[in-house]
Amino acid sequence: MKIKYLAAAALITLASLGLTQRADAAPLGMTYNDGSGNSSQYLLGTVIPGTQGGGGQAQRDATMTNALLAIGSLGGQTTINSGLYSRSFNSFGSLPAATATGAVLGSGIADGTTPVTVSLGTGFQYLVAAYDGPNGSVAVFNVAGLTGSVDLFRYAARELDANGDPTGNLLGSNIAAQGYFKMTGWTLLNPTGTVPDGGTTVMLLGAALGGLGMARRFLKI
């Protein structure tokens, strides 16, 4: 019985530490405008189709991110090289220009029924998710300050208006369906090299170890 109690305490300890490692339990949303001038949290904007620019994946994604940053007004839209750029309504304050230097790339995404999980490592400014090249789209997120990992939808579809034109919104799914395209890759841009939640993690670790010490004394193990 004593061993069971100690094992349970250890599991609780690990669970408490895990709480600080996940930035968002659900896949990041890709709604540019919900109809009331609101956008999904963390979304910087969308690009449809998401094949703007050259120079490889990292440079292409940095170029599209900078084009979104250049849109003068929150919620603004513009067309560049036949691509629709939609800047979200989220106000992130002053943001740095995106660069391909230090970028981390993900590719070869397989079919499946679960979100695509991306580890943020020691921190990045931007996360770009691309879906099926010329037939798909791109979502750009501001992930500065987030730690651990985030989930992205494995598939995405363009929302169309009554005329069949894209609205700027992307519809996410983790199940393949008609009109939904699989993610082709993701890119982390502008490494920040910081772990903002480190202090909280240390406090939790100390509290958890203290709790284990008390449990050990109480159980006389």
Query: Could you tell me where the DSSP H helices lie in the chain?
Result: 2-18, 57-69, 198-219
pLDDT of res. 42: 98
Q: What is the pLDDT of residue 135?
A: 73
Q: Which residues pair with 126 in a beta bridge?
A: 142, 189
Report the C-alpha gap between 101 and 57 in whole angstroms: 12
> Residue 213's pLDDT is what?
53
Residue 89 and residue 33 in contact, taking contact as beta carbons nearer than 8 Å: yes
Q: In terms of Cα–Cα distance, which of 196, 190, 194 is closest to 69?
A: 190
Check residue 22 and report its DSSP letter.
B
User: Tell me, what's the pLDDT at 2?
Assistant: 45
First to last CA, the chain: 11
What is the pLDDT, as a whole number, of residue 82? Answer: 87
Which residues, in sequence order, are bridge partners of residue 172? 156
Q: What is the pLDDT along the chain (221 residues), one digit of tens a residue?
A: 444 443 444 434 434 444 333 444 589 999 999 999 999 999 999 999 866 667 899 999 999 999 999 998 999 999 998 899 999 999 999 999 999 999 999 999 999 999 999 999 999 999 999 998 667 899 999 999 998 999 999 999 999 999 999 999 999 999 999 999 999 999 999 999 854 443 334 343 444 445 445 444 544 55
Residue 121 CB-density burial (10 A; 0-12 exposed, 13-18 middle, 19+ buried): middle
